[in-house]
Structure 1
Amino acid sequence: MKNIGMIITAAGAMGILVSSCTKLSEGPQGSLTQDNFYKTQSDAVAAVTAVYSTLTTDINNDFPIYGRNLNLIVDNTSDNQVYSPSNTNPDVRALGTATYVSTNDRVRKIYAQLYWGINKANVAIDKIPTIPAGQFVDPARSAASLVNEAKFIRALLYFDLVRLYGDVPLLLHDQGTVAEASALVDRTPKETVYQQIITDLDSATSLPGSYTGTSVGRVTSGAAHALLAKVYITRQEWAKAITELKKVITAGTANLTNATTGAYGYDLFAKFSDAFQPATKNGKEHIFSAQFNGTTGGFTSTNTLSSFTWSNSAYTADIPADKSVVELFDLTDQRRAATFYDSLFNQSTGKWVKWPFSNFLKFVDQSTGFVTALQGNQGANSKMNFPVIRYSEVLLLYAEALNELNGGPTSDAYAAINIVRGRAYNSYTSGGNYTNHTYDLAPGLSQLAFRDAVFTERRKEFIQESQRWFDLVRRTDQGPGQYYLKSVYAMPGNPKSAATLRDTLFPIPQTEIDLYGGKNPNFQQNPGW
């Protein structure tokens, strides 16, 4: 893989040609260049479509960011997931045992993919304003809106980068247009990176609140407010997070006493599994999702989180860390049956076989039915979107922020988490209403007990959604990194006994250190690596 400067320079040259279902080669075909491409509104739309495509495709036809690669990084290093016995990739296995090093292929790959997307966003942000205003004949795709969509994606990718690696190069323009680009790259303090993320998301809050037709799935103002709130939560800026969350939570939500003003119509599906099937993609619970179409061959856009050829094989590519992960859930919690399965239909005998362990079910495309999916190849050709942020997360973030800001849980903090729990236990209707309050959290919890309850609920709600490691390392009330270490050390069998505080940040890929460390004394490796 090329170094970061080479990666993003090459990506910029190809960015103007990419779409989510086009097979690319490394060498540009024909004489199309950036200088003669950005002339019309259609050119601007194509450029932003290329930005979106980086979430769900890979330039080398590898696992996309949100198709499995981020999951390998964030979930295999957590207490939720490990590689399966069938997975022989040493770099993936090292992630599951906390023995990975700075030359790890997956660590390098996600770094490259994130900057590939950022450079495409930079190109669009730089070039779209140069198109004559008269070319924008469709007001639904104005230059300003297209630029703000690209800014949202850039902010999302930098948010992933800064949480994974800490200080990272902050690149805001196409490196292909910067003289001696490789010599100019430096690691920018994470505080500066966060301020740019916030600036970009602030701009994106001016986007439309909804779309119709083929535009459904694009970034909305609600998505920008929601992601901005999550950024503030990560930074422990609780009051700012609450301000943003109130703009997203649907006004009139049952049992909330403080006014919320969200007019986006967000709500939970009554059926938890509806958040993960193609037939219900981009529904009322989906605030922003990476869009997958299930294309196979060529330059794919396939969600491969449950990727393998369904057969009589016992193991998928990644599995729950142990049975205790499944047993986090009560048998009456509908998330358990929607997240795991422990049986497979044997085509040879015509009988179901039950295993003494479970596999992940959440991202298995069941469009043709559960049995058919397990008999065929649906796991490796999934059209399921990846939910980057769902409405249930907004409610849980609200509960967390209120508890932290007020030194303990408020009535609204209880209401927000209990809405999510009410849905989990099959009694949710709509608008925050649910009929069975048996599973509400006990009143009178301390701030610490309520915090634990929120993090436990997040763990159950977002298994396999690339959340857990981020949650483990952002919680600092027990001391920086201590919640992470305590959690992974508690895993049965202690598979991550090698974990140390250094594992709360990933190493900068060694290829970057080798290239830039010799040119720039400030471009150094993360502590301990």
Structure 2
Amino acid sequence: MVLLAILLIGCSDYLDVTPESVWESDSFYSTPQEAEIALAGIYGVIASDEGYGRDLMILEAGTDEYYYNRRFNEDWGVSLFRNTPSDNESFNFWTNQYQAINLANLFVESINPSSYQNIEDYNALIAEARFLRALCYFNLTNFWNAIPLRLNSSKDQSDNNKPAANLADVYQAITDDFTFASENLRHPSDAKYIPGRAHKLAAHGLLARVYLKMSGYPLKENHYADVVSHCDVVINDGYHLLTLGDGTNGYRNTFLNLIGGVYNTREVLFEISFQNLRDQGLIGVDGRYGALNGLNFGSANTFGDPNGFAQAGVYPTLSGLYDQATDLRYQWNIPSYRRTGTGDITDIGNELQVLFFCPAKYRRWEPLNYADIEIPGTNEQYIVLENSASELNRNFTSVNFPVLRYSDILLMYAEAANEINGGPTALAIQYLNEVRFRAGLDDISIEKPTVATNKQLFFDELVDERSRELCFEGVRRHDLIRWELLDDKLIEIKNIVEGHPNFSTANADHQAILRGPLNFDISKHLSLPYPLIEVSINQELDQKLEWR
């Protein structure tokens, strides 16, 4: 059967052989070099438009962080809670993740151990494939809950016929894979480790994230001790740490690295490497960070301009979480400026200007002189932050996406310790403070003394802190669902938007902001429907009752 229908190129990190567009499984994996090519192919699938490149970003919208801001159509249906089983983005993402899973299955089945003199090298490759398989299954169950579990490669159409597995069995498969990865992948300090790829501490970190999800809705099994255990491994190892910036804004520097293609393996445990994959020519790898969810640039959209569609708008619920005068993360995540068609870099000034009040975490540009924001002008100078070997493109970017950062490890530990001990422990407070101090904030025990002594108040603070720190990083929807807070936060959005001093019932843009909160139905929107094509082809998968 055909192994890869994706085109692989001469990326020096993966291969030195002449690439082929199609490889047959019976003639592949005969050498370590060919195994590296196949592994690169799995990364390429995950990084494509239908995966992390675009559709994951679209599926994650619609929480209290950001929304689809085009009132004249209803694209991004999941974010508007107007999706159906025929929704394109969810079908694309479902297919993409299962495609990567099938390639990982085939890799595990086919790689030849006799080709390796060192069994550790063989196990490391198997572990990397299983890490990627676990990541895809975790993504799928986050959105769909119970899903078909396919742990063997598909040989023909009959292999597609799988019912939705028991949710506990899905999580068992995920934790088994990540555990194997944590035991057999290389340490990020290992001389053989390639930045941007999976490593053992990333596996421990994602195990913590999986166990935290398992502890909440819908499974509701208490795995907080496992969360602490795996966070402890990462923290006590000492390799990972927060980027402090030597007196500058370390938070900003973390994202400048992701935007500029610099691997910061100390803070970022795992990232999707659009920079490396695109610049090396891997076909079909389409990063959209900074374009679909970036700052409006205001040009003729010509090649070479750091432009974007700016299709994501920031809810005032998110901007309201920050101490806007002191929190360095607010200044980076939501700077509220844009460049007009004449080149004037100007302040937006209104949180309900839906086409301009956009996320900026993955910005492709910034003013050369921030004073220009307050001074009218034309063709004001700016700096391009993106560092791509190819000419800048309006549609695609080379901005890398952080799947897991060290600050999340600290916050996950704090949340789990609070649950285990019936209130925040000294380490939970310390780890929260580490994240706060980097943002320029005071000790939580000084600023909010009651929070530091009360389980519920500490949890509430973490709910807000995770959004302040991790907004637009693909975790908020799943956080709110596991906490059973998504409906509450959508109600909060409606109240805050309608109570905003700039809100007008006659303004169609303002009404469009409320589409998601008004459409949400808790009886069906805590998980996605199975794609229509999937239930049509898979003879053993029935559509969920609430979506029939």
**TM-score, structure 1 normalization:** 0.81
- Superposition deviation, residue 304 in structure 1: 0.7
Please report how far the alpha carbon of residue 377 of structure 1 lies from its aligned counterpart in structure 2 after TM superposition. Answer: 4.7
Mark the CA change 1:380 to 1:14 in structure 2 (over 3 Å): closer, same or farther: closer
Give the RMSD, CA atoms, in angstroms. Answer: 3.2
CA distance in 1 between counterparts of 2:113 and 2:176 reads: 25
Q: Is 1:498 the counterpart of 2:492 in the alignment?
A: no
2:404 is paired with a residue whose SS is strand
- After TM superposition, the structure 1 = structure 2 runs for residues 246-395 of structure 1, keeping only pairs within 5 Å, are 246-249=232-235, 261-270=236-245, 271-277=250-256, 278=260, 280-293=262-275, 295=278, 299-307=283-291, 310-312=297-299, 316-331=309-324, 332-346=326-340, 348=342, 350-355=343-348, 356-357=350-351, 358-366=357-365, 371-373=382-384, 377=392, 380-395=395-410
Could you say what secondary structure the match of 2:323 adopts? Answer: coil
Identify which range, 295-304 or 441-450, moves more after superposition: 295-304
Judge conservation of contact 1:83–1:317 (CA < 8 Å) in 2. Answer: no
Would you say the 8 A contact 2:291–2:308 is kept in 1?
no
The correspondence of residues 24-423 of structure 1 with structure 2, limited to 5 A, is: 32-57=23-48, 63-74=49-60, 76-85=61-70, 90-92=74-76, 94-128=77-111, 131-133=112-114, 135-136=115-116, 142-175=121-154, 177=155, 180-182=158-160, 184-206=161-183, 207-210=185-188, 211-212=190-191, 215-236=194-215, 237-249=223-235, 261-270=236-245, 271-277=250-256, 278=260, 280-293=262-275, 295=278, 299-307=283-291, 310-312=297-299, 316-331=309-324, 332-346=326-340, 348=342, 350-355=343-348, 356-357=350-351, 358-366=357-365, 371-373=382-384, 377=392, 380-423=395-438
Aligned with 2:543 (options 511, 515, 524): 524
Deviation at 1:64, TM superposition (A): 4.4
Change (3 A) 1:391 1:509: same
* Match of residue 253 from structure 1: none
Q: CA deviation at 1:366?
A: 4.3
CA distance in 1, matches of 2:251, 2:22: 50
Cα 1:193–1:412 shift into 2, 3 Å:
same
Matched-pair identity in %: 24
Distance 2:469 2:143 in 1: 22
SS at 1:288's partner residue?
Answer: strand
Q: Answer with 206-215 or 305-314: which moved more.
A: 305-314
- What corresponds to 1:6 in structure 2? none
How many aligned positions are there? 472
* CA distance, structure 2, for counterparts of residue 47 and residue 89 of structure 1: 40
**TM-score under structure 2 length normalisation:** 0.78
Q: Which amino acid aligns with 2:415?
A: E
Three-state SS of the structure 2 residue aligned to 1:353 is strand
CA distance in 2, matches of 1:374, 1:142: 37
Q: CA deviation digits over 1:90-132, x for unaligned, max 9?
A: 331x33321211111111111111111111111111111xx25
Match of 2:373 in 1: none
What's 2:501 paired with? none
How far apart are residue 301 of structure 1 and its match? 3.0
Q: Decide whether the 8 Å contact of 1:78 with 1:469 is kept in 2.
A: yes
Unaligned runs of 5+ in 2: 13-18, 216-222, 301-306, 352-356, 369-380, 499-513
Deviation at 1:462, TM superposition (A): 1.2
Aligned partners of 2:207 and 2:337: how far apart in 1? 40
Aligned mates of 2:75, 2:9 — CA distance in 1: 30
**Residues 203 and 298 of structure 1: is their aligned pair in 2 closer, same or farther, counting only changes over 3 Å?**
closer
Give the direction of change, closer, same or farther, for the CA distance of 1:311–1:35 in structure 2 (3 Å limit): same
